[in-house]
Amino acid sequence: MNHMTQGPLLFVTGNKNKFAEAQQITKRAGIVIEQFHDRPTEIQSSSLHKIAQHSCEVALNQLKRPLFIEDAGLFIYHLNGFPGPYSSYVLKTLDNPGILKLMQAEKNRSAVFRSIIAYGEPDREIQLFEGETRGTISRRIRGTEWGFDPIFIPDEGDGSTYAEMPDDMKNQISHRAKSLAKFVNWYLTYGPATT
């Protein structure tokens, strides 16, 4: 099936950085995506899966065409998984300096970044795809990219934070790259459904 002829697939996100990252990955697979800026209001839940699924259902009811959304969280072991599903709120309130302050004297700096992609199309069950990257929290802000990128050092990298990595390197090992890769593989085989 040639997905280029289906028209652009909607990525429902208000985050231009997230869209750019996704676009680089989907483009390699020949999938054209388009950003839809009006992200549905998220439910409060301790589960990224539930948040992603609900947001996808709301967007699908509104737009009635194939689309996907992505939700991600940084889970820090010393903080019992905080900020986790509340990452975007914590980023707006505490930001990176606040997280570093909470971790100031802590030796165990282990963390995991998780990404959930929820894909939906009319009259079809929503599909979920998960990616995760393990790493550690740096002791200072390194780099100037968005989100928690300047304080997260992935285990698979060279000791750089996400923010210090070139895009092509980050797009091979990031949590979002992994969930997108799973989604792309599925989409090329199974979606969108034809009648």
| Residues identified as active-site | 71
Q: Residue written as tokens 């909607």?
A: 10
Structure token digits, residue 15: 């985050």
Q: Which residues pair with 131 in a beta bridge?
A: 115
Strands 83-84, 33-36: parallel, antiparallel or unpaired by DSSP?
A: unpaired
Q: Are 154 and 133 in contact (CB under 8 A)?
A: yes
- The region that residue 159 occupies, defined by phi over 0 for left and psi between -120 and 50 for alpha, beta otherwise, is left
